C-alpha cells in the first residue's frame, strides 16, 4: 500500500484525513463541514468528493455527506499515524505548544517514510494517543491484508469485529453503515439459519438476509 499511497496528491490525502477527523461515530460527514475545514466553496468540495467516490475512497450521498470506504480508511490512517506521531514528538521532546505542533505535523506527515515513522514510533515508546488524546493508528501498511470470514459462515454466540463490507450497491452499503455495521465496530451473532443471521449491534437486534451476511467480513474476537 505504501507505494500506492505516495502516488496520491497531497490534496487527496488532505481530504481523506479531514473526513477521518471530522466524522462522529463513523457517521456521514456533511460537505459543509469539509467546505468550512478547507475554507472553499461547497461546489468545489462536491466535485472533489465525486472524484474520490469514483476512485473507491469514499461513499457520497447527496444531502448526507461522505463516509470512507475501507480503502479510504487505510489511506487516511496511513497519514494520521505520521501526523500524530510528530505531534507527540514535537510536544513531548521539543516543548512545542499543541497548536504549533499540529501545524508543523501537517507539513512533516507527507514526507515521512515507513522507516522514519516506525523509528519515530519506537523512539517515542509506541504511544497510542497524541497530546489531545486522539488515537494513533497502528503501523499496518506493511502487513498482508486480512480477509476474515463471511458473517454467513460463522456459528452463533460469537462477538465479531467487522473487517469490511464487500457490497457494490451503494444504497445497500449505506443501509449497513447506518445500522452500525461498519469496519472496526463489534457485533454479536446471536442466531443463524440457512436464510438469515440475527445480530446485535449498537444495542439493537438486526436480521440480515444471507445475501447481505455473505458480503460482511468479520474477525472473531481474540484472534
pLDDT tens digit sequence for 159-176: 988 877 887 787 888 888
* Per-residue model confidence (pLDDT) at position 144: 43
Cell of 154: 460463522
* Per-residue model confidence (pLDDT) at position 153: 93
Task: Using alpha carbons only, give the angle 55, 81, 57 rounded to the nearest 5 degrees.
Answer: 10
Tell me which residues of the chain have a pLDDT lower than 50.
Answer: 1-4, 141-146, 222-223
Cβ-based neighbour number of residue 74 at 10 Å: 20
Cβ-based neighbour number of residue 32 at 10 Å: 11
* Per-residue model confidence (pLDDT) at position 99: 93
* Per-residue model confidence (pLDDT) at position 222: 46
Beta carbons of 167 and 180 less than 8 angstroms apart: no
**Cα–Cα dist 6/12, whole Å:** 11
Cβ partners under 8 Å of residue 30, min gap 6? 64, 65
CATH number of 1-145: 1.10.10.10
- Closest residue by Cα to residue 74 from 86, 61, 57: 57
What pTM was computed for the model? 0.58
Report the half-sphere exposure of 18 (CA within 13 A, side-chain side).
22
Per-position DSSP letters for 89-110, written without gaps between them = HHHHTT---HHHHHHHHHHHGG
Cell of 47: 466535485
* Per-residue model confidence (pLDDT) at position 82: 94
* Per-residue model confidence (pLDDT) at position 23: 79
Domain limits of the chain? 1-145, 149-220
**Taken in order 192, 218, 59, 85, is the CA torsion positive or negative?**
positive
Q: Which fold has domain 149-220?
A: SH3 type barrels. (2.30.30)
* Per-residue model confidence (pLDDT) at position 140: 62
- Closest residue by Cα to residue 201 from 26, 38, 22: 26
Cell of 221: 474476537
* Per-residue model confidence (pLDDT) at position 25: 59
**Taken in order 219, 220, 222, 223, is the CA torsion positive or negative?**
negative
Cβ-based neighbour number of residue 109 at 10 Å: 23
Amino acid at each position: 500500500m505504501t507505494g500506492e499511497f505516495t502516488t496520491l496528491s497531497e490534496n487527496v490525502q488532505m481530504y481523506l484525513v479531514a473526513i477521518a477527523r471530522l466524522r462522529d461515530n463513523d457517521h456521514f460527514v456533511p460537505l459543509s463541514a469539509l467546505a468550512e475545514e478547507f475554507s472553499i466553496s461547497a461546489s468545489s468540495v462536491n466535485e472533489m468528493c465525486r472524484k474520490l467516490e469514483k476512485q473507491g475512497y469514499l461513499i457520497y450521498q447527496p444531502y448526507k455527506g461522505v463516509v470512507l470506504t475501507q480503502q479510504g480508511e487505510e489511506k487516511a490512517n496511513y497519514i494520521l499515524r505520521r501526523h500524530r506521531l510528530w505531534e507527540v514528538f514535537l510536544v513531548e521532546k521539543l516543548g512545542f505548544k499543541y497548536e504549533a505542533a499540529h501545524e508543523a505535523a501537517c507539513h512533516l506527515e507527507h514526507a515521512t517514510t515507513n522507516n522514519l515513522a516506525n523509528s519515530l514510533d519506537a523512539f517515542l515508546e509506541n504511544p497510542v494517543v497524541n497530546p489531545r488524546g486522539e488515537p494513533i493508528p497502528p503501523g499496518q501498511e506493511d502487513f498482508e491484508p486480512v480477509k476474515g470470514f463471511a458473517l454467513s459462515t460463522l456459528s452463533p454466540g460469537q462477538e465479531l469485529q467487522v473487517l469490511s463490507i464487500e457490497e457494490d450497491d451503494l444504497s445497500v452499503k449505506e443501509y449497513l453503515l447506518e445500522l452500525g455495521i461498519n469496519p472496526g465496530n463489534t457485533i454479536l451473532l446471536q442466531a443463524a439459519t440457512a436464510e438469515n443471521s440475527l445480530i446485535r449491534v449498537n444495542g439493537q437486534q438486526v436480521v440480515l438476509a444471507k445475501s447481505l451476511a455473505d458480503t460482511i467480513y468479520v474477525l472473531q474476537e481474540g484472534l
